[in-house]
Structure 1
Amino acid sequence: MNRSNVTASFDVVHPILDIIVQMFALLTTGRLMGHLVQQNEWKSILTMFFVFVMIFVISNRAANIYNNTLFFYKDRIIRRQSMSFMVAAFCCGLVYLYCLDRSVSGKFLMFFMVNSYILLLLEIVIFRNMIDRIINRKHVPRCVYIGSKDSYNKFRYFLNKTPLMVNEIGYISFDDDNDSLEYIGSVSHLPELIRKYNIDHVYLLQKREMDIKRIQQIIDTCIQMGITCRVVVDIYRRRKAFSYNSSIGTYPIMTYHTVSMNTQEAALKRIFDIFFAIVGIVLTSPLMIITAIAIKLDSPGPAIFKQVRVGKNGRHFKIWKFRSMYVDAEERKAELEELNEVKDGMMFKIKDDPRITRVGKFIRRTSIDELPQFFNVLSGSMSFVGTRPPTIDEVEKYTNDQWRRISIKPGITGMWQTNGRSTVTDFSEVVGMDVDYIDNWTPLMDIKIMFKTVLEILKLKGSY
């Protein structure tokens, strides 16, 4: 990001306020519970307090709490700051257990945490907006909006939900509009209007069909007169996409995306995958050995079946499963196409598939055939929870909308596996469930799907 604007959206007031509140919490705790602490223990307590506050503020910054261009309802602020508080408290607990003298009073620390959290809630609910208005009331910029009346009303609605404080003078239209009370003139008279109303900021509400040269002229006029100009980009209006602003050097970047995970969440999901893949391999290794022996005794061929599947955004990888079919299954697939139970042939499913071996029927019904995919998860080609990994020939039939279901890593289990599994024969329903997962992903959703998967396996339903 360009050095001159790297902190343009950073709110200095609120991190300072958070630090002051935590200091007040420590002081009041010391006042009320100081008799529990020996004189030589205060150095350890102050060390822990420093760690707690530092991690709390950094976590809030990562959660965009200190970004003054984003708007959050109070419940969202409470939720995000509570998460930061828990992270800081957890790290503080690790310091207490492994780095400091355990003689420090645990009761004192617990009282501090409770006191700190109560004061944090009071800060958010009562003092946050009050202090904003006290500090900023003498420095509120006078601003005008350039755009249509509808754009003006919509943008003003969102702006009023942000911490930003502006003195709204009115709006300037691209054409004359004398019917509105807020209307103060046409953009053709912008220099005169800036002089007349002592304008500090101009918000240009871009129309999607607006000529880029016209936008440049308005910006040039503002820059020439030393006025801050903010361009509100309106070039895309589909509601399926998330968006965020950034910059590379002096170039502003507007990013649209559909995958809800950010970098930190993707890292958390990967850690989750590695941990549970290792646990899964360790716990099921005896079962996998027995299964491999049973497959070899039941029919000729390898115990492990490898097949090229399609992963994230079309990447190919080899999926590993226990072989549940005879070795000539792929060659016989063509002659069974007319028996496919999935509409449009977008997936291949037959209830009593003649290619499945005796052991294969059992391991499919109990999902034991999926166990080698723990190694796919460990290697990074798959995730524990995701979308069903399709075959190459299936993906070749995808429409643009259906391609979206492979915009994340495929998973051992997912929404389809826990909501009917093989009984769902309409591929559009499968895509709908996968897209719903992609749009609404949270770590909690992954945990819920894993529990539901275990229940579905125990029921022995929908698997063939």
Structure 2
Amino acid sequence: MRKSNFEADTNMTDMVCDFLIGIGVVILSYLFFGRSGEFSRFFCYGFAFSVIFILEKKDAGLYDRTRFFYIDRTIKKVTFSWMVAGGILLLCILPSGEIKQDRKALIFCATLFYILFVMIALARRMQSQNRNQTRTLLVGNCEEYEKFRHFLKKTNLNLNIVGYVGDGEEPEYVGTMENLEELIREYAVEQVFFMQNIKNQDYREQIALCSRMGVSASIVMDLYQSNYGDSYVNALGTYPVITYHTVTLNVYKRSIKRSMDIIGSLVGIILSSPIMLIAAIAIKSDSPGPVIFKQTRVGKNGRHFTIYKFRTMCQDAEKKKAELQKENEVKSDLMFKMENDPRITKVGAFLRKTSIDELPQFFNILLGDMSLVGTRPPTLDEVQKYRADHWRRISIKPGLTGMWQVSGRSQITSFDEIVKLDVSYIDEWSLGLDIKILIKTVFVVLKRKGAY
């Protein structure tokens, strides 16, 4: 019979306790500030807040037994979860107009919530780990387990390591794999870890023995000791799958980023419409040719899309590019930048200085080809010359702005430095970083810093 292991590492007890504490805090708020006949409304507040708060904490991994514990990170995640839950609740309450009459209760409730949950999060970690410990054997070379045990101490797993099991009779081992059954009996073992290292030892017989004896067996995958990025383990049917990735795969946060792109692009289109109309008239009167410059660019993971910009060059600009390649200020043929480019028109020079030429890209963002923040979208000929490590910079959607644009833009003449900035953005990506870059972009554009 197949046993479901869904949420096996989730501490459901903590989740239930958090929910009950949330309801309790709301009851206290009602007793201090509520009025007769309003309990149902207070209860709805508390129920909604608790559910959202718990779901956000779960998404942050705060209920995961294998999560590493750091006080500063824990407080940061609890704070963020509290702010998200409070923000959503306020958005729901505002239209009803009840926030004024419940203001004191809400402030008291929110403050008490925050203080309690921060204290509880820290107290849970500091509680005694001596009760109900899982008696555990580690099968494999004890030196290979040194790093693993270091990580174990940072988690909430309550294990009692009774010893190592090796291939020989060394004194640091409690026994060998041949007498694993006797060791399980002698030490009343409940869990066995097998180190699956680069030698690919075959533990099938030992795992089968554990299954027959009702003992949990876990394989510690140590096949790749290089840092390939973040990783997580899931299952595809009966196959365990390890996924290594350098870009975020968090659907929740990616959805928020996409929502920001849609809202931001719509706001950008509406606010910049008068400017775009004036720019279009100026371009048309300054030189012959279309107002909008369309070009095929390379997007996420090599996908092609059509980018929209205001035309800032003469009509045959692409043909002249090859002649000007020797004037390229980027020390590589993987990207072209040139100050005082003769192909740029008079109006085009102003549009570039003010970054007005980029405004039509709001439509690319709305269509989903680009993002508000990302990496610079390269041309087809540039990407054809990329090395493998260069390709990583297009593992995310290109952006209207990004780390390169707020770090000097055209003043940076090394393509490797540009790649380094892009990779840094990918590695450190967060919603907070996107907001920070957007704010910096405004100041960079106003100062016309590094634009040509």
The alignment's TM-score, normalised by the length of structure 2, stands at 0.95
Instruction: Report the Cα offset of residue 104 of structure 1.
Output: 4.9
For residues 393-441 of structure 1, give each alpha carbon's deviation from its aligned partner in whole angstroms, at most 9, with x where no partner exists. Answer: 1001111101000000000111111111112111100000000000001
Match of 1:168?
161
Q: Distance in 1 between matches of 2:297 and 2:287?
A: 24
- TM-aligned CA distance change 1:401 to 1:176, over 3 Å: farther
Instruction: In structure 2, list runs of 5 or more residues that go unmatched.
Output: none
Match of 1:406?
394
Which of the numbers 136, 139, 150 marks the counterpart of 2:143?
150
Q: Distance in 2 between matches of 1:81 and 1:46?
A: 22
The answer as to 2:279 corresponding to 1:279 is: no
Contact 1:152 1:171 in 2 (8 A): no
Which of the numbers 198, 208, 216 marks the counterpart of 1:228?
216
The answer as to 2:58 corresponding to 1:58 is: no
Instruction: Report the Cα offset of residue 216 of structure 1.
Output: 2.2
Contact 2:233 2:241 in 1 (8 A): yes
The answer as to 2:338 corresponding to 1:347 is: no
- TM-aligned CA distance change 1:109 to 1:349, over 3 Å: closer
Q: Which amino acid aligns with 2:190?
A: D
Match of 1:267?
255
Instruction: Report the Cα offset of residue 25 of structure 1.
Output: 2.4
Instruction: Report the Cα offset of residue 261 of structure 1.
Output: 5.1
Report the number of matched residues. Answer: 451
Which of the numbers 319, 329, 332 marks the counterpart of 2:317?
329
- TM-aligned CA distance change 1:308 to 1:123, over 3 Å: same
Contact 1:247 1:253 in 2 (8 A): yes
Match of 2:11?
11
Q: Which amino acid aligns with 1:188?
A: E
- TM-aligned CA distance change 1:268 to 1:85, over 3 Å: same
Contact 2:296 2:380 in 1 (8 A): yes
- TM-aligned CA distance change 1:283 to 1:95, over 3 Å: closer
Which of the numbers 193, 197, 200 marks the counterpart of 1:203?
193
For residues 360-413 of structure 1, give each alpha carbon's deviation from its aligned partner in whole angstroms, at most 9, with x where no partner exists. Answer: 111111111111101111110000110000001100111110100000000011
Instruction: Report the Cα offset of residue 177 of structure 1.
Output: 2.7
- Percent identical across equivalent pairs? 46
Q: Distance in 2 between matches of 1:124 and 1:461?
A: 45
Stretches of 4+ aligned residues off by more than 4 angstroms: 99-104
Q: Which amino acid aligns with 1:17?
A: C
Instruction: Report the Cα offset of residue 27 of structure 1.
Output: 4.2
Match of 1:439?
427
- TM-aligned CA distance change 1:176 to 1:406, over 3 Å: farther
Q: Which amino acid aligns with 2:82?
A: F
The answer as to 2:73 corresponding to 1:76 is: yes
- TM-aligned CA distance change 1:447 to 1:224, over 3 Å: same
Q: Distance in 2 between matches of 1:392 and 1:454?
A: 29
Q: Which moved more, 1:409-418 or 1:253-262?
A: 253-262
Instruction: In structure 1, list runs of 5 or more residues that go unmatched.
Output: none
SS in 1 for 2:324: helix
Contact 2:26 2:43 in 1 (8 A): no
- TM-aligned CA distance change 1:101 to 1:294, over 3 Å: closer
RMSD: 1.9
Equivalences for 1:438-457 in 2 at 5 Å?
Answer: 438-457=426-445
Contact 2:23 2:43 in 1 (8 A): no
The answer as to 2:216 corresponding to 1:216 is: no
Instruction: Report the Cα offset of residue 333 of structure 1.
Output: 1.4
Which of the numbers 104, 108, 113 marks the counterpart of 1:107?
104
The answer as to 2:129 corresponding to 1:119 is: no
Q: Which amino acid aligns with 1:64?
A: G
